[in-house]
Amino acid sequence: MSAPAPPSDGVPPAEPGRTGWRRFAVVLLAALAAAAAMAFWTARGGVAASLAVSGHVFKVRADRLEGTGFAQYPDTAVTADGEAHPVALTVIDSAELDDLCQSALIDTPVGQATFLVRAGGDGRPVRAEHMVVDMRQLTGDAEFGDIEIGRDASTLANDSGRTGEPGGFALQGRTVEITGLRQRAYSVNAGTFTLTGLELEVKRGDHECF
């Protein structure tokens, strides 16, 4: 009765493959342990994470931003829906941020959710290298060192190699310090983002940083 069906018409016996659950558990537990270690070291500042989020306007708040190699010029950002938006393209070669909060409202099949990242508390700032921001709005108290306002946008010099159109308006500073930073942006890209004390949360509803 239970004998396997003999192969016929060139079809191999349909004996199903199966999963060795013990091996599955071993591999998965090892992998999860490695993932937990990575998340832990990212939070400790040992692993730099790369962040590239966009498509919607999202909010960034930080108590203090201190950076070198600052440049800014008007540009357009094309969002996922194909629409072009005017932005202040902002480049900071190297930045440190205290008490960073970054939030984005996402539409999910179960309603609105907030994607929330917090890091850089307890006097251990977040470090970002080669940061490029498509900025829509920025508020805060800013102090620039060696600022050149009205520099031609095509002559900007920064590590990310971002320049604008010849004849375009731009400003460039050697250093920048912004306290009480609040920013709305279409995208933030950083070559490396070292997130100390990382807390990553996806919450239902609107829990934006400001």
Partner 1 sequence: MFLIPASAASAAPGRVRRGRLTRRGRFRHWRRSRPFWGGLLVTAGGAAVALAPLAPLPLIFQQGVAGVSGYAVGLLMVAVGVLSWAQPAQRVFFGLTAVLLSLFSFPASNFGGFGVGMLLGLTGGALLTAWIPGGSADRAE
**Chain contacts with partner 1 (rule: CB under 8 A):** 1-2, 5, 8-9, 11-25, 27-28, 31-32, 34-35, 38-39, 42, 47-55, 77-78, 80, 115, 130, 132, 134, 160-162, 187, 189-192, 200, 202
- Facing residues of 171 across strands? 72, 149
In this structure, are strands 111-119 and 199-204 parallel, antiparallel, or unpaired? antiparallel
**For residue 129, what is the enclosing H or E element?**
strand 126-145
Shortest Å, Cβ 26 to partner 1: 8
DSSP 2: -
Shortest Å, Cβ 179 to partner 1: 27
C-beta of 35 vs 149, nearer to partner 1: 35
Per the structure block, which two tokens stand in for 173?
């500073």
C-beta of 64 vs 72, nearer to partner 1: 72
C-beta of 51 vs 142, nearer to partner 1: 51
Shortest Å, Cβ 152 to partner 1: 20
Q: Is residue 63 within 8 Å of 103, Cβ to Cβ?
A: no
Tell me the C-alpha distance between 163 and 185, whole Å.
19
Closest CA to 55 of 97, 90, 85, 75: 85
C-beta of 42 vs 196, nearer to partner 1: 42
Shortest Å, Cβ 167 to partner 1: 21
